[in-house]
Structure 1
């Protein structure tokens, strides 16, 4: 019997064709409401999401025939992973699809921050020609501390090799990955040696608000901070205090702890007004990994895993 998959978020137009080629019937409903989704999900073996849909107990309890949940991207923070797995449902994601795009974007943010590119651009457009005020820092004499050595962290490290900088990596759950180009270190050594901290960890209960003021104050040096992971890992309130004290010399942020601006409290809005006024921060709107090529490649990776999942099942 042909498997039926429901796609409930916007995805590249190739998704239905790819699923059809894998022998799967695809129904593309990116504008479906929550009540409608709860009503019809029992008719499907597969559910494909991006970032809009919360896969919680309510949805899983309604999805009585669900076998596979596919996330078109890397993070699984919208999915109640423990509950889904307790029901025997397979979770598939596609970090391989956008790791290169994310790594390139992270490099762009890092270089922009160190070389004052955004600030200098704004000044020149306002007839200010300030060479000394925009003198930059070079990566080659810096030590980059990286937390998280999954697909994203590894792709970022690959790009860093061209800059001849020292790379230290801490990963709580991985061991034995050190090479002549990458030093596997403890948090204590990361605190002692890093000039720049780059975050590449998923959002979960362990990492939520983990990189706070107390964490950053452990660093011996004043540091630059790069976050292309998830905004909730780094509380804005703490970042402002660290910027005020000079402990964080500058930041490059592709993510924020609150990204739905229309739902901010007055306190959160005031924090962002303060943050957005800083000239030593480079922002982008959560587009690391979101390129024209990766948009399609994520589909290819995800459908490939779905096809492999059912192939293995059939062979067994």
Structure 2
């Protein structure tokens, strides 16, 4: 059983739902959502990307840019909320770090790979010096072999800066509990003092199983989830199910009924829509394909469908 007293839930509904799903969150909804998450005991609410993600996307919207005015509007409505943002080092400057810290961002997540470690570590050190929790997010973790992951961790350890949390992101939704355990065994061995975090996707229906397994076996404490699983493709670990599970096994810090009510409000919002690429997302997870390789998954799906209907 995981040590629930140490669990830190990071709600990524606004970040992943707004950016990945192009859901047009209005400021009234955003602030109401944050208040509901606070009331339910959720530890951090990640409200968007700062200056976009890895690749440029047109009409990205407020949660994909998270400029100063957006953060200020949230802070004015929710002064006590523990807010987080996600960044790519090539998109931001030192001034962005100062601006985010001045506006009360508590958790800053850096997406990183082997090519961006130096710049990421520099910016993360500045963020930490300004009082933010500094985390590194290793994306597409299923694409790493044990050796390539170890090499990346060696690069991280070679820098003076030490991240507060090392995250593994199952971006492709390909992991099984066995594979997830191997990954976290490598991370834990390389960084025994770091807190660990996990961002699960549910392409092959393993988001909850993977999360429970790494919490139990490796003490993963930071766990990402979103209402209704909103996020890329099929989506993330469902926040309402995570909180229900934690409550079922003895956790009392989170209010499952308030989370379920928040999920209900989102599902009944006029602009909410279910993902339409369900089949393609399962194929993507099965074949360990990233979001930029969706054409390959679509071609596999088209071929299979034509053969089945022949």
TM-score by length of 2: 0.34
Q: Which protein is bigger by CA-based radius of gyration?
A: 1
TM-score by length of 1: 0.34
